[in-house]
Structure 1
Amino acid sequence: MEIHEHLKSIDFVVVGIYLLFLIAIGAYISFRKKKSTGKDYFLAGNSLKWYSIGLTMWGTNVGPSMLIASCAIGYSTGIVAGNFSWYAFVLIAMLALVFAPHYKNTGISTLPEFMGKRFNSTTRSILAWYSLVTILISWLGLTLYAGGLLVSQIMDWPLWLSVCSLMALASFFAIAGGLEAIAITNVFQMILLIIASGILVFTGINKLGGLERLATDIPNHYWDLFLPNDNADFPWLAIVLGYPVIGVWFWCTDQSMVQSVLGAKNLDHAQLGTNFTGWLKILDVPLFILPGILCFLLYPELKDENEAYMTMVTGLLPNGLIGFIMAVLIAALVSTIDSALNSFSTVFTMDIFAKRIKPDLEHKKLVLIGRLTMVVGAMLAIFIAIGLDRIKGMDLFSLFQAILGYLAPPMTALFLTGVLWNKTTTKAANIGLIVGSVISLLVGAFQLMNYPNKAFWPHFLLVSFWLCVFIILLIVTISLLYPDKEKSKFPTLKASYNTLNYKPSNRVLGLWGILCLVMVLLYIIFN
């Protein structure tokens, strides 16, 4: 019995009511702030508190691609994908304690703007265009593709129709409300997401007959975070070396993720909010990967692991509740696409249009340009999502991580050398960014096409690591060979804290210390 054949009218009624409620929230916020400035629209007036920051970052990260892909990888290999959630706390801590002080000290709206202040306007322009490419491919294209697969399973629609329908809904909500609408509704959506996935896990364990079968009837490697180095899917060395490259870019330098930190009320809320995100990431394994493991035990003959999540939903839950979980999944998709559309709009409007084309344009017209940019971004993302369906031979989770791995090295190398090493020169940064971007994208395209053949390439995470090492060495070498005549005026981390008249509070340091201990304990238990 196909997934869509399990659905009844009540399920679609529940979805419809929820979506109407979601649209109403966006419209209310849009009309409530008629006098908002451009910065209010893009950064929520620098008013976001720690809980909104934490939930928004988690909500941006937890989209339908996360739900489907994590459940699928749980079905096929176990909790190894948990590394992409639990290992992330190291990089989230780096964002909170190293990058966020620099970002807040400079008062920037976008990360290309930050690098423009660190180096020059050319760096900002290059980074702005590359950021648009990464947002289009990684956030909009991939998320829309995964969401299209989800809706295709639910509605039995062709992929193109599913993709277009979801983008139409997400675009309307994003254009109507701006970042604050996304932040406010994320609180509601994350509560629903926790409840829905919790119900699914509890029901699955109950049908399984209890927790004992999870320990006795599952292959031993399903509970290992680190798999042997000869494992073809995710060898431990590839994860240890390669994931930080993705993680620095994803958590510390990507506009879609850092947007909420830039809109924080102050640095204390930014650091507490990112810590909250780290705690929420612990939930990824029991909420999104465990259902896949349960599905492996309950439905071992499943032909397509990408159907594991919805197979659990339609196979275990009553109608009405199925509709509730469908609504939560669509909400997660809308949340991720909204944040990405807002970031795409912010980068183009603030870093390209306002900087290069019309620098004296008033704020209200900037907001209009931002909304028009969202429409263009939505259309491009639809074509990318449909194009991704042509890539064969990789499961959804691996495809997602591989593409991130190809996009990350230039950004990670640039921000690490630019923020942590004051001797990095403008010339080195610009050359490293241009050369690194071209090489990374070409290598990624060749590996995805298996050219010259699949055996030629190491694991994509190792490819990402070596690309990053190459770009860092290139930047360092050029900086040493052609040093700047004047000493860099870019502030050190200590200087940024002093300028802000702030140092991490005992509460911030204590919470990060506790989170670190918990993560170490989890890695000991699951190895």
Structure 2
Amino acid sequence: MNSFATLDWAVIIGYFLVIAGLAIWVILQKQNNTEDYFLAGRNIGWFIVGASIFASNIGSEHVVGLAGAGAGGKMPMLIYELHAWLVITMGWVFLPFYIRSGVFTMPEFLERRFNSSTRWFLSVFSLLAYVLTKVSVTVYAGGIVISSILQIDFWFGALATVILTGIYTILGGMKAVVYTEALQTIVLIIGAGTLTFIGLDAVGGWSGMRESLEPGYLNMWRPPSDPDFPWPSLVIASTIVGIWYWCTDQYIVQRVLAAKNIKEGRRGTIFGGLLKLLPVFLFLIPGVVALALKNRGELSWDTPDQAFAALLMNRMPTGLKGLVAAGLLAALMSSLASVFNSCSTLFTVDIYKKLRPEASEKKLLRTGRIATGFVVVLGIIWIPIMQNISGVLYEYLQSVQSYIAPPIAAVFLLGISYKRINSRGAMTTLVVGLAVVFLRLGLELGRDSLDPGSLLHTFGTMNFLTFSSWFFLFSILLCIGSSLLSPAPSEAQLQGLTFSTLSEEQKTANRASYNVWDIVFSLLVIAIVAFVMISFAE
């Protein structure tokens, strides 16, 4: 494997200097309260919102895992990257309720809609979810990328990046995160896009790549009988995960809550949806190219998760190699910074402030900074356990998210669309949902000790997509049933929080927050998604 030249190191160092300069500029600006620190003063425009959404989503798990999915025959996983239509769904459907309510967090919105118990529960649930997925996966994937490229120890590379990212996140808050993410988005797109272009050129273009693969390899649609990716379960489960992740998860929604108003926030989601279409070409295709070159005997790697790094180090010319490496570091740092800031917000606003309502703004800021460190430690501890669940990193991430998403997505969807849903229905769904998640994870980890054919073995080994689909239906029925068996919420409590309780003034304001171009670009995103889905059907 080729190593970096002096010019490559100069590009990487230059990237870090620019990021450091931008972070220092933000840190030097005065932040007096929690709105400044956690939501950047609610004064962000659509471009920064959209770039931040994209950069937050695209982490090292995409660099390693999505390329690994392309190189390892997991093409159906591509559907998770075609959820750009759900990004704009958040802007059109959910965002107006969030911004009108003036909340900082998604658990806080549940308190407005239901009661304080649901807020407490979702806060803890979300923090656990971040440890199980975002923190551990990002650190683990980042360690793989850094150790493969820089030829250093896995844990040293992972921890060094965590510490560097943590410094500017803790000191600069949300504003430091979103502005550095805007720059990192540009670096990432240019760097990874260059690798895709050079990789396709090396393999003889799209046709040359297809010729080097077995027939039907690029088909993302498997028959319903497929044991791994049956298409009906794939479509349903991925949509459920998409609704949870893009429309209700603090990690993503916090970026949009920082927008100046509903119009800027919605346009940010449309721009973010357009950017979200890029990972197919920036990461998955390089993984497929790496496989095609391996089949020709022109490239070698041991596991699919190493495909992207192998292509980078062996095919990119000097200078550009450093640019792509900077893009990979940008992906790692931006996603880490986002999850750090979101965890800090959840803990400080939804837990600490509820326990200590008299705490000063200065005390809340200090608490938020301290909370970040604990989440990082928990994520690092989870990494060895994570490695036992799935052999492919991206598949692990989607499987765990498929367990977490159904109860939360059900509560939020029903919460804004059906005014009869009450706090008992929401709380029952969340509590039972968490119990089911841990039961499934426990049985999955211990599946080898279960009797084949038994109920527990079936529950623990059922295809994760099929499990998620049935789990969502169960959550919907449980939420509705529990609500109907208890008193309906009052109209005063629901005012402006469901579609049927919007005032005429609110409806008029919502209609005034978009124009024909917002609709045109939203339809364009949907059209591109449909085109890609058809293109990967063989």
Q: Same fold (TM over 0.5)?
A: yes
- Name the CA distance, whole Å, in 1 between partners of 2:162 and 2:381: 11
The 1:496–1:80 alpha-carbon spacing in structure 2 relative to 1, beyond 3 Å, is: farther
The 1:475–1:294 alpha-carbon spacing in structure 2 relative to 1, beyond 3 Å, is: same
Q: Which of 277, 280, 285 pairs up with 1:285?
A: 280
Is the CA contact 1:78–1:293 (under 8 Å) kept in the aligned structure 2? no
Is the CA contact 1:103–1:114 (under 8 Å) kept in the aligned structure 2? yes
Residue 191 of structure 1 aligns with which residue?
186
Is the CA contact 1:78–1:221 (under 8 Å) kept in the aligned structure 2? no
Residue 305 of structure 2 aligns with which residue?
306
Please report how far the alpha carbon of residue 509 of structure 1 lies from its aligned counterpart in structure 2 after TM superposition.
1.8
Q: Which of 452, 458, 468 pairs up with 2:462?
A: 458
The 1:43–1:413 alpha-carbon spacing in structure 2 relative to 1, beyond 3 Å, is: same
The 1:393–1:184 alpha-carbon spacing in structure 2 relative to 1, beyond 3 Å, is: closer
**One-letter amino acid of the structure 2 residue matched with residue 388 of structure 1:** M
Report the more deviating stretch, 285-294 or 76-85. Answer: 76-85
Deviation per residue, 1:268-318 (Å, 9 max, x gap): 111111111111122111111110111111123633111100110011013
Secondary structure, aligned partner of 1:225: coil
Is the CA contact 1:145–1:388 (under 8 Å) kept in the aligned structure 2? no
**One-letter amino acid of the structure 1 residue matched with residue 262 of structure 2:** L
- For normalisation by structure 1, the TM-score amounts to 0.93
Please report how far the alpha carbon of residue 94 of structure 1 lies from its aligned counterpart in structure 2 after TM superposition.
2.3
Deviation per residue, 1:395-431 (Å, 9 max, x gap): 1111111111122122112111212211111112112
Secondary structure, aligned partner of 1:223: coil
- Name the CA distance, whole Å, in 2 between partners of 1:416 and 1:231: 30
Secondary structure, aligned partner of 1:319: coil
The within-5 A match list for 1:237-316 is 237-300=232-295, 302-316=301-315
Is the CA contact 1:111–1:255 (under 8 Å) kept in the aligned structure 2? yes
- Name the CA distance, whole Å, in 1 between partners of 2:85 and 2:14: 40
- Name the CA distance, whole Å, in 2 between partners of 1:112 and 1:211: 46
Report the more deviating stretch, 226-235 or 396-405. Answer: 226-235
Q: Which of 427, 438, 441 pairs up with 1:441?
A: 438
The within-5 A match list for 1:57-68 is 57-68=53-64
Is the CA contact 2:421–2:480 (under 8 Å) kept in the aligned structure 1? yes
Deviation per residue, 1:469-507 (Å, 9 max, x gap): 212211111111123374463223371783372313222
Residue 471 of structure 1 aligns with which residue?
475
Give the superposed CA RMSD: 2.1
Please report how far the alpha carbon of residue 224 of structure 1 lies from its aligned counterpart in structure 2 after TM superposition.
2.0
Is 1:28 matched with 2:35? Answer: no
Please report how far the alpha carbon of residue 329 of structure 1 lies from its aligned counterpart in structure 2 after TM superposition.
0.8
Please report how far the alpha carbon of residue 239 of structure 1 lies from its aligned counterpart in structure 2 after TM superposition.
1.1
Residue 513 of structure 1 aligns with which residue?
523
Residue 369 of structure 1 aligns with which residue?
367
- Name the CA distance, whole Å, in 2 between partners of 1:450 and 1:496: 52
The within-5 A match list for 1:307-326 is 307-326=306-325
Is the CA contact 2:187–2:330 (under 8 Å) kept in the aligned structure 1? no
- Name the CA distance, whole Å, in 2 between partners of 1:496 and 1:110: 24
The 1:496–1:213 alpha-carbon spacing in structure 2 relative to 1, beyond 3 Å, is: farther
- Name the CA distance, whole Å, in 1 between partners of 2:423 and 2:94: 19
- Name the CA distance, whole Å, in 2 between partners of 1:35 and 1:326: 33
Where does the alignment leave 5 or more consecutive residues of structure 1 unmatched?
none
Is the CA contact 1:345–1:371 (under 8 Å) kept in the aligned structure 2? yes
- Name the CA distance, whole Å, in 1 between partners of 2:321 and 2:7: 9
Residue 92 of structure 1 aligns with which residue?
87
The 1:507–1:489 alpha-carbon spacing in structure 2 relative to 1, beyond 3 Å, is: farther
Residue 49 of structure 2 aligns with which residue?
53
Secondary structure, aligned partner of 1:489: helix
Residue 14 of structure 2 aligns with which residue?
17
Residue 482 of structure 1 aligns with which residue?
486
Residue 37 of structure 2 aligns with which residue?
41
- Name the CA distance, whole Å, in 2 between partners of 1:35 and 1:48: 15
Secondary structure, aligned partner of 2:221: coil
Report the more deviating stretch, 308-317 or 198-207. Answer: 198-207
Deviation per residue, 1:306-355 (Å, 9 max, x gap): 11001100110133332222222111111001010100000110111112
Please report how far the alpha carbon of residue 263 of structure 1 lies from its aligned counterpart in structure 2 after TM superposition.
0.7
Report the more deviating stretch, 485-494 or 343-352. Answer: 485-494
Is 1:76 matched with 2:72? Answer: yes
The 1:476–1:35 alpha-carbon spacing in structure 2 relative to 1, beyond 3 Å, is: closer
Please report how far the alpha carbon of residue 366 of structure 1 lies from its aligned counterpart in structure 2 after TM superposition.
1.3
Please report how far the alpha carbon of residue 10 of structure 1 lies from its aligned counterpart in structure 2 after TM superposition.
4.6
**One-letter amino acid of the structure 1 residue matched with residue 271 of structure 2:** F
Please report how far the alpha carbon of residue 393 of structure 1 lies from its aligned counterpart in structure 2 after TM superposition.
4.8
**One-letter amino acid of the structure 2 residue matched with residue 76 of structure 1:** G
Is 1:498 matched with 2:498? Answer: no
- Name the CA distance, whole Å, in 1 between partners of 2:182 and 2:491: 45
- Name the CA distance, whole Å, in 1 between partners of 2:275 and 2:310: 25
Secondary structure, aligned partner of 1:109: coil
Identity of aligned residues (%): 30
Q: Which of 94, 98, 101 pairs up with 1:103?
A: 98
The 1:496–1:347 alpha-carbon spacing in structure 2 relative to 1, beyond 3 Å, is: farther
- Name the CA distance, whole Å, in 2 between partners of 1:520 and 1:82: 13
Please report how far the alpha carbon of residue 448 of structure 1 lies from its aligned counterpart in structure 2 after TM superposition.
4.1
Please report how far the alpha carbon of residue 518 of structure 1 lies from its aligned counterpart in structure 2 after TM superposition.
2.7
Is 1:431 matched with 2:428? Answer: yes
Is the CA contact 1:47–1:265 (under 8 Å) kept in the aligned structure 2? yes
Deviation per residue, 1:132-169 (Å, 9 max, x gap): 11122222111111111212222444433232212111
Secondary structure, aligned partner of 2:217: helix
Where does the alignment leave 5 or more consecutive residues of structure 2 unmatched?
none
Please report how far the alpha carbon of residue 392 of structure 1 lies from its aligned counterpart in structure 2 after TM superposition.
5.3
**One-letter amino acid of the structure 2 residue matched with residue 75 of structure 1:** A
Report the more deviating stretch, 211-220 or 331-340. Answer: 211-220
The within-5 A match list for 1:131-150 is 131-150=126-145
Residue 339 of structure 1 aligns with which residue?
338
Deviation per residue, 1:417-460 (Å, 9 max, x gap): 21221111111211211111111122123224435378832221
Is the CA contact 1:160–1:386 (under 8 Å) kept in the aligned structure 2? no
Please report how far the alpha carbon of residue 81 of structure 1 lies from its aligned counterpart in structure 2 after TM superposition.
2.6
- Name the CA distance, whole Å, in 2 between partners of 1:346 and 1:115: 16
- For normalisation by structure 2, the TM-score amounts to 0.92
- Name the CA distance, whole Å, in 2 between partners of 1:113 and 1:8: 50
**One-letter amino acid of the structure 2 residue matched with residue 170 of structure 1:** T
Secondary structure, aligned partner of 1:221: coil
- Name the CA distance, whole Å, in 1 between partners of 2:246 and 2:24: 30
Q: Which of 221, 225, 229 pairs up with 2:220?
A: 225
Q: Which of 417, 421, 425 pairs up with 2:414?
A: 417
- Name the CA distance, whole Å, in 2 between partners of 1:514 and 1:325: 29
Secondary structure, aligned partner of 2:462: coil
Secondary structure, aligned partner of 1:211: helix
